[in-house]
Each structure stands twice: as structure tokens, then as C-alpha cells.
Structure 1
Amino acid sequence: MTGARLALLASPAPPAQLAARELRDRYDFVPLSRAETVIALGGDGFMLQTLHQMLDDRINAAVFGMNLGTVGFLMNEWRVDTLEERLERARPFGVMPLRMEAITVDGESYVMPAINEVSLLRETRQTAWLEVMVNERVVLPELVCDGVLAATPAGSTAYNLSAQGPILPLGSAMMALTPISPFRPRRWRGAILPDTARLSFRVLDPVKRPVSAVADQREVRDVSTVKVAIDRATTLTLLFDPEHALDDRITMEQFAV
């Protein structure tokens, strides 16, 4: 990693901007389009924003995040010193995003990536009525709920965990299918599926009970059908200090109280 071309991206939050100035005083950086490694300063939300920017701009570079936000689950510890040495020792982790294909009630089509999760959420006070399919087979003819989400292992400790979904170890080749406040069927609490599964959701009453589809932070309102699958043509590389590896953090999160 020594001598790699580095780009620097920072959250607009004051702590991240101050840290960016410190790094620019010590290291040389190139534009994002020329980078081999991207240094991202901020929290988990900014990391997701950075990864989406790289997908949109087709930037093929590894990302080393440093936490200047709140939780920083996807980030390393902030330190201004020994950056090149840390990059040399960093462990890479490949993350494949989800691909969401959503069609609205007006027939408009949207395709979006999601690194953490794809969520279907009710738009009004009315509960959502959804048909759920796995590999073109109907597994739930009618799911009545506030919503449902599909999460990657990297995203399983985010919204999925808050919705009482399972934590998935990195490299498990699984994804979580988790309901959000399910009303019927009452005893269904979700499923763990192989990451080769193809998920399809059909909104059963999209006019009276409108539903939005959200790929990480990007929303499509008034959807009628949504398809979700792992995008195997795309891999994002995250870099972590050996003592701060993502797979270790995901494992230990299962013991958090």
C-alpha cells in the first residue's frame, strides 16, 4: 500500500473538516478519479455516502474510513499519525451490494444499489400489505406489517438489528429477511436466506396502502413491485486496522448488552 495514490473525502461536520485539514498538512492527496485508496472521514452514514458516490462514478478504489461521527461501526479509529503504515497493515474486506429494482404504480422503473439494506416501508398510517416471493415462489401470500427489509451481513447490525433481525457474520454468504412490526402472520419473525436468493415483493393494495422502497438512503415512493438480489458483478473493498476488523466487530456485536 505504500506509495498508493490517496484521495481524501470528509463529512461536512466540523470535527471531520478539522481532521481533513490536519491530514492535508501531512500527506499528499489526488482527486477521487485517480485514487487507489480513499480516506473517508466521518461516521457510518458518511461511509455509505462515500461508497455510493464511488458506485455512481465507477471509482475502483479501496476505502479506509476513520471515525469522526457517532457509532463508526464501518470506520477505524481516528489518528493523524502513521497513516501510510496503517494502510500497509490494513485488512481488506470485500462487500457485494444488493441491487434493487423497483416499479411504481405509474409504471416508472428504478434500479439502485444498497450496501446495508433494502427496506419497504408504509407511507401512511395504514399498514402495508405485501406478497413475498423467494426465487419466484410465494412464501408469504400476505404479510401485514409496517415494512420489511433485506440486509447484507455488513448491514445486518444497522436497521436490521434495530428491527430485531439476526446478526450475520461477514463471509456467511447469507442475507437477512426481516419484518418491521409484523401484524400478520403473527409468529413470523423473518428468515435467513442464502445470498443467491432472489427476493420479490408485491404491494397488494398500493393505492389505499402506499409503500416506499428505500435502498440505504435513496427512496422510491408508491411502488407496486420490488425485486432484490445480490449484485455479484460489483465488489466494494473496505480496509480495516487488524485490531478493528469488521468481521470481529460483527461477531462481538452478538454479545453486546
Structure 2
Amino acid sequence: MNTEKKWALLASPTDEAQAAADALRSQRDWVELDDAELVIALGGDGFMLQVQHAMLEDARIVPVFGMNLGTVGFLMNEWRTDGLDERIARAKRFSVSPLRMEAETIEGQRIKLPAINEVSLLRETRQTAKLEVSLNDRVVMAELVCDGVLVSTPAGSTAYNLSAQGPILPLGSGLLALTPISPFRPRRWRGAILPETASVSIRVLDAVKRPVSAVADQREVRDVRKIDVAIDRAAALTFMFDPEHALDDRITMEQFVV
């Protein structure tokens, strides 16, 4: 009886990742993603997000163990071919609930997209964006003049959010970061830390004259009038990490990088 677990192997289209996939294919029998109990993903952080988004779209979510063959590799493990079964057996699993963005465009189109790292609003022209920010259906900032604003999960708090001077959120903290991007008015507002139960709504003031786009991780919606953002608890994703390079420890240690 064959008791080998059903693993799928996915690799980014780069030469390095494809060569690594060739090195692994001879080690075991691999299955298609639709039949897999676990995914081995070879590439960088961008490819990891692509894999997770594909599973969200198919509504079939399995754990993913990534190995870095990209640039930063914050969401990935070290690439090596030896001892993969043992690494999987020892791996720490982290559940990450994505954000769900519902955007309404100027023309009235409604688009729903998930975001594992962050949802960001960004000005489309040289003119600053003017935004109204609401929290749980209550206006908390009548006018934010800025280049943009983002809502970040703990898993994404060390990415774009950190570059925009937002706070690092420990994994499992139950928090979200609301971070302005180059705020002009109020100039000294540096954002807010919110409970993950919060629902954030952002309305674009003068959306025609000062157009704004919304980006959910890597997917963009142009000319938005309003977005609503909240955690999607029904779509939890599972990331797997070597114990010595676990995601929670990486996020914590980013606070000490100078």
C-alpha cells in the first residue's frame, strides 16, 4: 500500500526556480494541485502570494511550505534538496486570515479581492488624494490629505506597511495597522492600530478630479470611489516554516533591524 503523502510542486518561471524544481521531481511522485494535501512552492515572496491567492480563488486551501529562490524570501524557507520529509514533519504551521476588500469604482462597478499582506489606496495623478476614513461605520477622520493609505495584516506589517513607517504587528496579535502614505494633512498623524474585528471604510473625496486606485496585494482596481476592508475569517491560509526560521520570530526580530 502506498502511504506517500500527496504533495504538489509549484515553481516560479525563473530559470533558478525551474532548475530547483527539476532537482526535486526525481525525489518522489508529485500530484496536481487539485489532489494535493500540501504544496511545495519554489520562488520568492511574490510567488508565494500568487500560490496562496490561487488557492483562495479555487476555494481549496492546503498548507504551503515555500523555499526561497527569489530576492527577499521573508515568507519562504531556505532552499535545499536534502531532508525535505523531515523538514515538513518538523515544520511549524501558522494560520493567516486574509483581508477582504470590496471596492466600488466611479462607474459603480463592485469588485471583491482578498489581500494577505495589505490593501492600499494610492493617488493616480500628481495631485494628492483626499480621503474620508470610517471605522465600524463611524467617521473617524473627515479628511486625510495624502499620497495614500493602507490596511495591513500582521503577516504583511513588515512589507509595504513598514516602508511607510507603519508598526510591526506580532503574528497572532489580533491587530491590524492603518497607515498613511506621505500624509500632508493632518501632517503629524502616523496611523492607528486596530483590533482585527474592525471594519475599515475609506471614501475618496472628489474621486473624479483626484483619482485613486486600490491595490489588494498585487491586484489593482483603478478609479475607486470607496473601499470596505475587513478580515475574512472563513479563508484562513496555512504557512509552514522550519522551526529555526519561523514566521513569528522573523516578524519579532524585524523590530531590531537598524
Contact 1:115 1:216 in 2 (8 A): yes
* 3-state SS, counterpart of residue 213 of structure 1: strand
Instruction: Quote the Cα distance in structure 1 between the aligned partners of 2:12 and 2:163.
Output: 25
- Which residue type is aligned with residue 37 of structure 2? E
Partner of 1:186: 187
Instruction: Indicate the RMSD between aligned Cα atoms, in angstroms.
Output: 0.8
Partner of 1:30: 31
Instruction: Quote the Cα distance in structure 1 between the aligned partners of 2:4 and 2:219.
Output: 35
Divergent runs of 4+, >3 A? none
Instruction: Quote the Cα distance in structure 1 between the aligned partners of 2:128 and 2:57.
Output: 33
Partner of 1:174: 175
Partner of 2:257: 256
- Which residue type is aligned with residue 147 of structure 1? G
TM (normalized to structure 2)?
0.98
Deviations 1:28-57 (A, max 9, x none): 210000011000000000000110011111
- Which residue type is aligned with residue 164 of structure 1? Q
> What are the within-5 Å matches in structure 2 for residues 1-257 of structure 1?
3-257=4-258
Instruction: Quote the Cα distance in structure 2 between the aligned partners of 1:4 and 1:199.
Output: 41
* 3-state SS, counterpart of residue 26 of structure 2: helix
- Which residue type is aligned with residue 224 of structure 1? R
Instruction: Quote the Cα distance in structure 1 between the aligned partners of 2:181 and 2:28.
Output: 45
Shift of 1:121: 0.4
Instruction: Quote the Cα distance in structure 2 between the aligned partners of 1:204 and 1:57.
Output: 35
- Which residue type is aligned with residue 28 of structure 2? Y
* 3-state SS, counterpart of residue 61 of structure 2: coil
Shift of 1:188: 0.4
Sequence identity percentage? 73
- Which residue type is aligned with residue 205 of structure 2? L
Instruction: Quote the Cα distance in structure 1 between the aligned partners of 2:200 and 2:238.
Output: 25
Shift of 1:27: 1.9
Contact 1:129 1:204 in 2 (8 A): yes
Shift of 1:132: 0.2
Aligned residues: 256
Instruction: Quote the Cα distance in structure 2 between the aligned partners of 1:200 and 1:79.
Output: 44
